[in-house]
């Protein structure tokens, strides 16, 4: 197995576990919202949901590093300092994600959660700006699909931030259940409203991941053998 094969495999596994884990989180979250269930049953569903959610979080944190190495193998060269940053990104981000999960409720987790929040905004901005700049100087000539994938990834991170913005009432309800307090109709309504606002962003992530996969398989170029090839034509050929 070559280095290219290995990183392709890693990239595929990250896609599978990100999307699969996200669907599992989405499904289990529905049981947490059912007031007809006991608090114990709802908390068990919440525990499954939160533990399962760690998987797509880790996958997202690793994707840019794996993708960055693959882009180098596809001919998009990076200066040494950039490759060092790409290589260190996954260990740094994954460590932060795991610590937030393992130390939930502690002062350390609260500090890291705030750092992670602003770090993700930095990633969204940095990805969009750097992709635009690289495009403008011709770094994506022949591989425009890599630019599309980077921009979509920025959208995925943004969607995660939007989910985080809408979830506090849902989390508040979980904490109230966990403390043994009786849930009121208002509490349940607030949790349902919170999740209903977050779910559209989850579905955008699923669509974005599907587009990422299609681009990675189809790899639409501006020109192949002197002939212009439209992305739509290649997508149709892929499905047919």
State how far the Cα of 197 lies from the Cα of 202, in Å rounded to an integer.
10
Rounded-to-10 torsion of CA 125, 131, 136, 141: -170
State how far the Cα of 109 lies from the Cα of 114, in Å rounded to an integer.
9
% pLDDT > 70, the chain = 92
Higher pLDDT, 39 or 1: 39
Which of the residue ranges 151-160, 168-177, 215-224 would you say has the lowest mean pLDDT? 215-224
Q: Return the pLDDT at 221.
A: 63
Q: Return the pLDDT at 3.
A: 79
User: Domain residues for 182?
Assistant: 3-239
Give Cβ neighbours of residue 167 (< 8 Å, ≥ 6 apart). Answer: 194, 195, 198
Q: What is the mean pLDDT of the chain?
A: 88
Domain count across the chain:
1
**Predicted TM-score (pTM) of this structure:** 0.88
Closest of 75, 65, 61, 77 to residue 21, by C-alpha = 61
> φ, ψ for residue 193 (rounded to 5)?
-65, -40
Q: Return the pLDDT at 223.
A: 44
DSSP type of residue 130: H
Residue 42 has pLDDT above 60, yes or no: yes
State how far the Cα of 97 lies from the Cα of 93, in Å rounded to an integer.
6
**pLDDT, tens only, 47-89:** 999 999 999 999 999 999 999 998 888 778 888 999 999 999 9
């Amino acid at each position: 197995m070559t280095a290219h094969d290995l990183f392709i495999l890693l990239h595929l596994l990250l896609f599978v576990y990100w999307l699969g884990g996200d669907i599992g989180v989405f499904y289990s979250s529905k049981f947490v919202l059912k007031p007809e269930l006991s608090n114990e049953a709802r908390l068990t569903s919440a525990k499954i949901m939160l533990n399962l959610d760690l998987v797509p979080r880790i996958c997202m944190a690793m994707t840019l590093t794996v993708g960055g190495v693959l882009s180098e193998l596809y001919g998009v060269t990076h200066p040494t300092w950039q490759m060092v940053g790409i290589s260190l990104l996954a260990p740094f981000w994954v460590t932060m994600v795991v610590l937030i999960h393992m130390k939930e409720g502690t002062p350390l987790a609260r500090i890291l959660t705030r750092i992670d929040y602003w770090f993700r905004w930095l990633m969204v901005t940095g990805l969009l700006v750097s992709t635009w700049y690289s495009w403008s100087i011709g770094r994506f000539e022949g591989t425009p699909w890599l630019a599309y994938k980077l921009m979509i990834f920025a959208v995925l991170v943004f969607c995660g931030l939007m989910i985080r913005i809408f979830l506090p009432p849902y989390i508040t309800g979980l904490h109230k259940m966990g403390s043994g307090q009786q849930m009121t109709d208002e509490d349940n309504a607030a949790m349902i409203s919170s999740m209903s606002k977050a779910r559209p962003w989850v579905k955008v992530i699923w669509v974005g991941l599907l587009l990422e996969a299609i681009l990675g398989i189809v790899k639409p170029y501006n020109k192949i053998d002197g002939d212009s090839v439209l992305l739509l034509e290649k997508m149709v050929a892929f499905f047919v």
